[in-house]
Chain A
């Protein structure tokens, strides 16, 4: 796992329309960081810039020691070369492949030998508690199970960083609570660097090492849940974190 570093990131759409601006932040190796803010605040855009699914127009992004995006010098590493895992809000579990094939796909692309693929996929399915369901098709799984498939698929290639885009928003309240603790436990035991996007302050508070509060494309405050709660920089943050 690696560090993620943003240096003066901006995402500009038009002359003075910025989706994200002046975003500077370092996410440490093994840290769980949440981007928290109302919809349209730029948190998902920032997350997708780590993956390379969106391009920043200014500034630099580093994954570990590698520079992955530097538009001023016309450098951009495409998403397929960045080696990041991502869990999408809609899960994006491929409906035409069974659980095993979904999770094995990133390893097949990397041309990992077959027996090693099998070993690693089964191991990962055990981590997300899906062992025994390898042959199931996605439409035979519950929403929570599909979520776990997506998680296993994101983790199986041992990515530099795991990105989670509002992964719990489609689950019911009870399952959401269990997934919160499960994701945090997996993160701790595998020592993952996680960037987690949410608009739910309970999720952010219970899971993260640090929270980044965003509004209108800008960082308002960065700190541990405790710090932010005890010392909010302004009224917006105070009300949002309540």
Chain B
């Protein structure tokens, strides 16, 4: 019985998480006339100058973003965990907030601020003082979100690290900077490298910012190039998009392998059982300058762009700054008068609920098998589910199109451009996240609690209901919201999986910004609502789990 359940689970995961990629690969390989073997798609991709430039751009941007993120993230993590920086917990959650906000919101904000002709900052600082449509604009906006990856990983590893390593160096007579260089940095190097590669991967896989900032500046990345090919509409376009996404998938896999290898090879045992309160380094006369610096940074990455979006959302006429010009009519128009945006909200909301619920249910079920049974092959579940999670969204979307466009294995109607396809994509993408979160929850619950309930006479069902469910409430609630949140504003996959007539919050914001009225403030209104949702959800998650989850 148990074996059948495991077999069935593996089968489901194979269909959802592996088969689409296989289909993508096969369709691209057998793309000749009548489905014959052909490498034309690969050839045309690998010999095209445009593509090579896109590959080069992707490498350049990703490297620059990783470096800049490290440059900002490491000192911040150190400052917040090792010194007597005031209100460090509060600052940490503010500084980590961009982690949960989709970066394309940042792109919209910075276009509003630093558009060479109409940007708000350029009106103040002088015409064309800043130009967002540049390589550095692209790097800056991506970094202003992705530095949080470094901050989170490095901060976590500093908190886990036994503080006596640094204290021993202090007693040897070394000052703070020397300790950082000689002791701290070498010990956290694996997590820096790991975090840096994650940033690299996230940049290479990102779509929103490159599309909104890069494309107008004719800086094309792999993801935006795939989008262009796919939107050509022809089969050959799809095949070329497929070939290019195989390339992206391959580089992502290599990056991930390197990352795991680094983590496995050079991970020092720096965690000890005893957790003494670390003695904090006193900033002394550096306290005020460092607080000012951090506040200035926070202003630059968060407050300034957010207020830009706010001003735009509240302006009757874009670009005019007077009190008479303030209005809430944009909000009213977007939410209740414009059919398109209202529909988008409803779609995204219901998709969020459906995808989060199904992913959590399936995830909790699969991780139970993985953590709490001893069946052979149970670790395969985690491995299979993590495949779409670590694959760039663009590639996942393309694979799903090729696999399920003609219905489910040829049965039923085409799923392309349907809510069903979107829900499927979100579930496939976030299943691994649900599994990991619930698996951590299961691991913290001792098996004897289950056994005690059984001995007390409760069957499997009642044990689930009275013991597991209450104990698993926190991780389940967290997983649900942490899937709901990104799904509501998802863009990368959605833009490829939908066409006209099926709007979501992400695609509407994107299209409003790209094609339609940059002057109406509608995109800004939606962006504000997304940010408010993120803050609200983060608050709910944090409160409901007593700070175990959330930022």
A-B contact list, 19 entries, CB within 8 Å: A44-B276, A51-B171, A52-B279, A53-B170, A79-B171, A80-B174, A83-B173, A84-B171, A86-B167, A88-B168, A89-B164, A89-B274, A90-B274, A94-B169, A109-B172, A109-B178, A110-B173, A139-B268, A154-B171
| Any A CB within 8 A of the CB of B410 | no
| Any A CB within 8 A of the CB of B113 | no
Interface centre among A83, A85, A86, A150 (most CB of B within 10 A): A86
Query: Chain A interface residue count: which class?
Result: 20 to 34
A90 and B273 in contact (CB under 8 A), knowing A53-B167, A79-B279, A105-B169? yes
Contact B269 A95 (CB under 8 A): yes
| Any A CB within 8 A of the CB of B150 | no
Cross-chain contact of B164 among A80, A82, A92, A106 (Cβ < 8 A):
A92
Known contacts A89-B272, A106-B173; 9 further A-B pairs (Cβ under 8 A) = A51-B171, A79-B279, A80-B171, A82-B171, A83-B173, A88-B167, A92-B164, A94-B165, A109-B174
Cross-chain contact of B268 among A88, A90, A95 (Cβ < 8 A):
A95
Contact B268 A80 (CB under 8 A): no
- Near B by CB (< 8 A), chain A positions 40-54 give 44, 48, 51-54
| Shortest Cβ-Cβ A-B pairs, 8 listed | A106-B172, A90-B272, A92-B164, A95-B268, A88-B164, A53-B279, A92-B168, A109-B173
Q: How far is the CB of A52 from chain B (nearest CB, A)?
A: 8
Cross-chain contact of B168 among A44, A48, A86, A139 (Cβ < 8 A):
A86
Q: Which residues of B contact A94 (CB under 8 A)?
A: 165, 168-169, 183, 187
- Per-residue 0/1 for B159-183: is the Cβ within 8 Å of any A Cβ (1 yes, 0 no)? 0001011011111111100100011
Query: Chain B interface residue count: which class?
Result: 20 to 34
A83–B164 CA distance with the chains assembled, in angstroms = 16
A157 and B172 in contact (CB under 8 A), knowing A79-B167, A95-B268? yes
Q: Which residues of A pack against B, CB within 8 Å?
A: 44, 48, 51-54, 78-86, 88-90, 92, 94-96, 105-106, 109-110, 139, 150, 153-154, 157
Q: Which residues of B contact A81 (CB under 8 A)?
A: 173
| Any A CB within 8 A of the CB of B350 | no
Q: Which residues of A contact B167 (CB under 8 A)?
A: 51, 53, 79, 86, 88, 92
- Per-residue 0/1 for B180-215: is the Cβ within 8 Å of any A Cβ (1 yes, 0 no)? 001100110000000000000000000000000000
A224–B183 CA distance with the chains assembled, in angstroms = 40
Contact B173 A95 (CB under 8 A): no
A51–B167 CA distance with the chains assembled, in angstroms = 10
Q: Which residues of B pack against A, CB within 8 Å?
A: 162, 164-165, 167-175, 178, 182-183, 186-187, 268-270, 272-274, 276, 279, 282
A52–B170 CA distance with the chains assembled, in angstroms = 10
Cross-chain contact of B175 among A44, A80, A92, A153 (Cβ < 8 A):
A80
Q: Which residues of B contact A89 (CB under 8 A)?
A: 164, 272, 274
Q: Which residues of B contact A139 (CB under 8 A)?
A: 268-269
A96–B169 CA distance with the chains assembled, in angstroms = 13
A20–B449 CA distance with the chains assembled, in angstroms = 40
Q: Which residues of B contact A105 (CB under 8 A)?
A: 169, 172, 174, 182
Contact A85 B171 (CB under 8 A): yes
Q: Which residues of A contact B272 (CB under 8 A)?
A: 89-90
Q: How far is the CB of B262 from chain A (nearest CB, A)?
A: 14
Contact A153 B279 (CB under 8 A): no
Q: How far is the CB of A43 from chain B (nearest CB, A)?
A: 13
Contact A157 B173 (CB under 8 A): yes
A69–B362 CA distance with the chains assembled, in angstroms = 60
A90 and B162 in contact (CB under 8 A), knowing A106-B173, A109-B172? yes
A96–B268 CA distance with the chains assembled, in angstroms = 8
Q: Which residues of B contact A106 (CB under 8 A)?
A: 171-173
A48–B278 CA distance with the chains assembled, in angstroms = 11
Report the nearest A residue to B267, measured CB to CB. Answer: A95
Q: Which residues of A contact B183 (CB under 8 A)?
A: 94
Interface centre among B172, B186, B272 (most CB of A within 10 A): B172
Report the nearest B residue to A76, measured CB to CB. Answer: B282
A110–B172 CA distance with the chains assembled, in angstroms = 9
A18–B474 CA distance with the chains assembled, in angstroms = 35
Q: Which residues of A contact B269 (CB under 8 A)?
A: 95, 139
Contact B168 A96 (CB under 8 A): no
Q: Which residues of B contact A85 (CB under 8 A)?
A: 171
Contact A95 B270 (CB under 8 A): yes
Q: How far is the CB of A39 from chain B (nearest CB, A)?
A: 11
Contact A48 B162 (CB under 8 A): no
Q: How far is the CB of A88 from chain B (nearest CB, A)?
A: 4
A94–B268 CA distance with the chains assembled, in angstroms = 9
Q: How far is the CB of A145 from chain B (nearest CB, A)?
A: 15
Q: Which residues of A contact B173 (CB under 8 A)?
A: 80-81, 83, 106, 109-110, 157
Q: How far is the CB of B184 from chain A (nearest CB, A)?
A: 11
Cross-chain contact of B279 among A48, A83, A154 (Cβ < 8 A):
A48
A89–B276 CA distance with the chains assembled, in angstroms = 10
Q: How far is the CB of A163 from chain B (nearest CB, A)?
A: 8
Report the nearest B residue to A104, measured CB to CB. Answer: B172
Q: Which residues of B contact A88 (CB under 8 A)?
A: 164, 167-168
Interface centre among A81, A84, A105, A153 (most CB of B within 10 A): A105
Q: Which residues of B contact A86 (CB under 8 A)?
A: 167-168, 171
Q: Which residues of A contact B182 (CB under 8 A)?
A: 105
A86–B183 CA distance with the chains assembled, in angstroms = 17
Q: How far is the CB of A122 from chain B (nearest CB, A)?
A: 18
Q: Which residues of A contact B178 (CB under 8 A)?
A: 109
Q: Which residues of B contact A154 (CB under 8 A)?
A: 171
A105–B172 CA distance with the chains assembled, in angstroms = 7
Q: How far is the CB of B417 from chain A (nearest CB, A)?
A: 54
Contact A54 B273 (CB under 8 A): no
Q: Which residues of A contact B268 (CB under 8 A)?
A: 95-96, 139
A86–B279 CA distance with the chains assembled, in angstroms = 15
Q: Which residues of A contact B170 (CB under 8 A)?
A: 53, 78-80
